[in-house]
Amino acid sequence: MTDMEYRTLVEEGEVVGKSGQHDSSTGCDCEFEEPIDKYRDKIVEYNGRKYIIYHTTPVLVDDTLWSTIILDSGGWKTKSTKERINRHLPDGFKLYQEDNEWYLERKGDREDVEFHDGMKISTI
């Protein structure tokens, strides 16, 4: 997602949740262009979708119209990114790491699926 797309999302969408203010103890080098940027975690509803944003990356996009969730690490496969995704996955799904690779587990499936940015999962 580009900075312009992120700006559009937070300015035109409805911010329905925000938490985790940056401070000197976080070690982030984030710059704040707008007051909303001081929050690491944001939930924004825009055009019928719910965006779970960590820093400026929508790590999970819930498209209820199409019963689809899109996952994206933004290239930041960190423990905290994985934690944000897991926090908002529907029941029965879990993202985990094994041997430096990420996998998506779905309860009831025989095999887990290797994670890739932009992967879509059905919620039905």
* pLDDT by residue, tens only, the chain of 124 residues: 677 788 889 889 998 988 887 665 666 666 667 677 777 889 999 999 999 999 889 999 999 888 999 999 999 999 999 999 999 999 999 999 999 999 999 988 888 999 999 999 998 8
Tokens representing 118 are: 């932009």
Domain extent at residue 118: 3-122
b/e code 18-42 from CB counts within 10 Å (16+ = b): beeebeeeeeeeeeeeeeebebbbb
Total domains present in the chain: 1
Q: Identify the H or E element spanning 67.
A: none
What distance in Å separates the CA atoms of residue 113 and residue 98, rounded to the nearest whole number? 12
What distance in Å separates the CA atoms of residue 114 and residue 48, rounded to the nearest whole number? 28
- Report pLDDT for 96: 96
